[in-house]
């Protein structure tokens, strides 16, 4: 591969960010800005055609991601970003459809859509910013909040188990699944870039920090505390292979978890073949 010069932040800003949209609404120390920066770097690295790239978001702190970028963008209702993305992609398979969502958006209210998009293996890139909470509504527990956490709706500690969203996507049929963390920015760019390149449904979960609504209630009041927590509670795919299930308990495995190359099994590719079949009178 030819070596490409790394673009300066100012160049990236001029190319992909909407002028005069700063400062962002996110709280100081929030991890979402970091995810956006990585997402944009990934889009640039892959070299997606700007006009063909659309961003689809839902509701929550992560739902506002589109607002600082200059792509065609959809900002809709809670939990429904994925079906909108499916409609866009199927209607025009040329589009690169990128769907940043929060943990509540993607795993609770929109959980059904996530697993079915994974099952269909439709070529959209879902990026789940997992900050362990519903930040926008003031810090309630989500299906990805660690058990025991104090939140505004679990004042005595969260008694619910949390999803392993990556395992869920894998089980549902996603052909690219990865987990990153804002602590590992460089890796996050690569994971998102590979997800975008992948032909099929991609899920990239990014563990992010919400110091304001989650951290301060859980003895991790600053971004630094939460990033340290990320460092202590994540293990790489390679290291995880050497660890026992006991040792892995409560740890997040980061890196590429699934990467199945089968472009002809992607949904819109299958659909093109369906159209050919239907055009020839139903005979294959």
Partner 1 sequence: MGKVTVISGNEACVEGALAAGVRFFAGYPITPSTPIAEGMSRRLPPIGGKFIQMEDEIASMNCIIGASLAGLKVLGATSGPGFSLKEESFGVAMLMEVPCTVIDVMRVGPSTGMATMPAQGDIMAARWGTHGDHPVIALAPSSVRECFELTVKAVNLAERFRTLVFVLTDAILASLLERVEIPDSVETVNRPRPTVPPAQYKPYQITPDGVPPMADFGAGYHWYASSNMHDERGFLATDQHAVAWTLAQRLRDKILKHKDEVTFYSTEWMDDAEVVVYAFGSTARSARAAVKMARAKGIKAGFVKTQTIWPFPEELVSKIAEKARTIVVPEMNMGQMVEKVREVVCGRAKVVSVARVDGILIPPAEILEAIK
Token reading at 157: 């500690």
Q: Are 97 and 23 in contact (CB under 8 A)?
A: no
Of the two residues 65 and 189, which places its CB atom closer to partner 1 in the complex?
Answer: 65
Contact partner at residue 116 from ligand SF4, partner 1, none, CB < 5 to 8 Å by partner kind = partner 1
Of the two residues 153 and 259, which places its CB atom closer to ligand SF4 in the complex?
Answer: 153
From 16, 30, 121, 206, residue interacting with ligand SF4 (rule: CB under 6 A): 30
Q: Are 215 and 222 in contact (CB under 8 A)?
A: yes
From 125, 130, 151, 213, residue interacting with ligand SF4 (rule: CB under 6 A): 213
Cα distances from 255 to residues 44, 118, 264, in angstroms, run 21, 19, 25
Site residues for ligand SF4, 244-283, by CB under 6 A, read: none
Q: How is 237-253 classified by DSSP, letter by letter?
A: HHHHTTS-HHHHTT-EE
Q: Name the packing angle between helices 111-120 and 165-172 (round to 10°).
A: 40
Q: Give the separation between CA 212 and CA 138, rounded to whole angstroms.
A: 9
Least Å distance, CB 143 to partner 1, is 18
Q: Are 151 and 131 in contact (CB under 8 A)?
A: no
From 16, 26, 141, 183, residue interacting with ligand SF4 (rule: CB under 6 A): 26
From 35, 61, 69, 226, residue interacting with ligand SF4 (rule: CB under 6 A): 61
Site residues for ligand SF4, 122-181, by CB under 6 A, read: 131, 135-136
Counting DSSP H helices and E strands in the chain, the numbers are 11, 8
Q: Are 44 and 4 in contact (CB under 8 A)?
A: no
Instruction: List contacts with partner 1 (CB under 8 A).
Output: 50-52, 54, 56, 66-67, 70-77, 80, 82-92, 94-95, 112-113, 116, 271, 274-275, 277-279
Least Å distance, CB 42 to partner 1, is 19
Binding site for ligand SF4 (CB under 6 A): 26-27, 30, 32, 61, 131, 135-136, 210-213
């Amino acid at each position: 591969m030819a070596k490409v010069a790394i673009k300066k932040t100012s160049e990236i800003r001029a190319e992909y960010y909407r002028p005069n949209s700063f400062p962002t609404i996110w709280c100081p120390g929030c991890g979402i800005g970091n995810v956006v920066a990585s997402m944009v770097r990934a889009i640039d690295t892959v070299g997606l055609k700007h006009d063909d790239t659309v961003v689809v978001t839902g509701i929550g702190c992560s739902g506002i991601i589109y607002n600082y970028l200059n792509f065609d963008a959809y900002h809709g209702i809670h939990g429904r970003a994925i079906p909108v993305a499916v409609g866009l992609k199927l209607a025009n398979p040329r589009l690169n459809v990128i769907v940043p969502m929060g943990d509540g958006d993607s795993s609770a209210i929109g959980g059904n859509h996530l697993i079915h998009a994974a099952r269909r293996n439709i070529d959209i890139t879902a990026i789940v910013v997992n900050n362990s909470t519903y930040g926008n509504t003031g810090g309630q527990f989500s299906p990805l909040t660690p058990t025991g956490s104090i939140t505004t709706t679990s004042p005595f500690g969260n008694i619910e188990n949390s999803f392993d969203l990556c395992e869920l996507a894998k089980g549902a049929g996603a052909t690219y699944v990865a987990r990153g963390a804002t602590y590992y920015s460089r890796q996050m760019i690569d994971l998102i870039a590979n997800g975008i390149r992948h032909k099929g449904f991609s899920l990239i979960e990014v563990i992010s920090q919400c110091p304001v609504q989650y951290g301060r209630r859980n003895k991790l009041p600053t971004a630094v505390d939460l990033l340290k927590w990320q460092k202590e509670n994540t293990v790489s795919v390679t290291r995880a292979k050497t660890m026992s299930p006991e040792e892995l308990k409560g740890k997040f495995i980061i890196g590429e978890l699934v990467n199945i190359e089968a472009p002809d099994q992607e949904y819109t590719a299958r659909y093109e073949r369906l159209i050919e079949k239907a055009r020839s009178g139903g005979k294959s």
